[in-house]
């Protein structure tokens, strides 16, 4: 009976008439507060992402402030020719890695990049420490970024790292390259991540070449999948 009288204050002579409206107003204020919290959370996520990119914790080949990139606009269409074409370009490699990070599956590309860096090692004294680091990060069982390779490849790689050479990770790197080529690379080509960049590539218009907007970090942040990642 108390609830009925509360919902219909005109039946309750002792209840203030403005009480229901005060409650509604309070609910509206709470709704506005939630919206403000969501916006604040999104801004915080974006700020954290850009801070990590600047500190190279997350590698994104685009500057944190909108500015022109050195990537020729006609380069992205070439990335669909092969995975090697994509990885051969710094911007392509960076975008591919960002795509895999959005899927929480970046361990394969990070291992591939670590191997490429390892093969550039000029000091024999550094080979052992680098080989140990790569093995413990990517190869051994329950490694923090363990890649999906077969047992035989693991064993061969483990043996190779005991007397490290520049080629001791070649077999494992080849296996991971094949995995990316068959799995993540086709998904990347079909993603909005990549297709949105293709829309910015040069097109033929009445016999004249027209360039669309240059690649910028702001343009990347407008990408729907990238925004969803934030």
Q: What is the DSSP letter of 47?
A: H
- On the CB side of 37, how many CA atoms lie within 13 Å of its CA? 6
pTM for the full model?
0.60
What pLDDT, on the 0 to 100 scale, is given for residue 23?
47
Query: How do the pLDDT tens digits run along the chain, 230 residues long?
Result: 454 444 444 445 444 555 544 544 455 555 556 666 666 665 565 455 445 444 444 343 333 333 344 567 778 999 999 999 999 999 999 999 999 999 999 999 999 999 999 999 999 889 999 999 999 999 999 999 999 999 999 999 999 999 999 999 999 999 999 999 999 999 999 998 899 888 876 654 444 444 444 444 334 444 444 433 33
Q: How many CB atoms lie within 10 A of CB 139?
A: 21
What pLDDT, on the 0 to 100 scale, is given for residue 26?
54
What are phi and psi for residue 68, nearest 5 degrees? Answer: -70, 140
Q: What is the DSSP letter of 58?
A: S
Q: How many CB atoms lie within 10 A of CB 42?
A: 12
The DSSP H or E segment spanning 76 is none
Reference 112, options 89, 128, 93, 92; nearest CA is 93
What pLDDT, on the 0 to 100 scale, is given for residue 186?
96
What pLDDT, on the 0 to 100 scale, is given for residue 65?
34
What are phi and psi for residue 137, nearest 5 degrees? Answer: -85, -35
């Amino acid at each position: 009976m108390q609830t009925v009288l509360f919902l219909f204050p005109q039946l309750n002579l002792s209840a203030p008439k403005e009480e229901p409206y005060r409650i509604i107003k309070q609910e509206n204020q709470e709704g506005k507060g939630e919206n403000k919290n969501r916006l604040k959370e999104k801004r915080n996520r974006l700020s954290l992402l850009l801070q990590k990119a600047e500190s190279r914790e997350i590698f994104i080949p685009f500057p944190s402030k909108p500015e022109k990139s050195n990537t020729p606009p006609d380069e992205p269409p070439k990335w669909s020719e092969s995975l090697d074409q994509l990885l051969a370009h710094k911007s392509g490699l960076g975008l591919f890695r960002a795509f895999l990070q959005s899927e929480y599956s970046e361990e394969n590309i990070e291992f591939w990049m670590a191997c490429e860096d390892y093969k550039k090692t000029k000091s024999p004294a550094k080979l052992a420490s680098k080989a140990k680091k790569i093995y413990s990060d990517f190869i051994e069982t329950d490694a923090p970024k363990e890649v999906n390779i077969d047992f035989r490849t693991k064993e061969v790689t483990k043996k190779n790292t005991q007397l490290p050479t520049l080629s001791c990770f070649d077999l494992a790197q080849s296996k991971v390259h094949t995995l990316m080529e068959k799995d993540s690379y086709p998904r990347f080509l079909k993603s909005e991540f990549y297709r949105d960049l293709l829309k910015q590539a040069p097109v033929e218009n009445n016999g004249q070449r027209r360039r669309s907007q240059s690649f910028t970090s702001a343009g990347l942040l407008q990408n729907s999948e990238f925004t969803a990642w934030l």
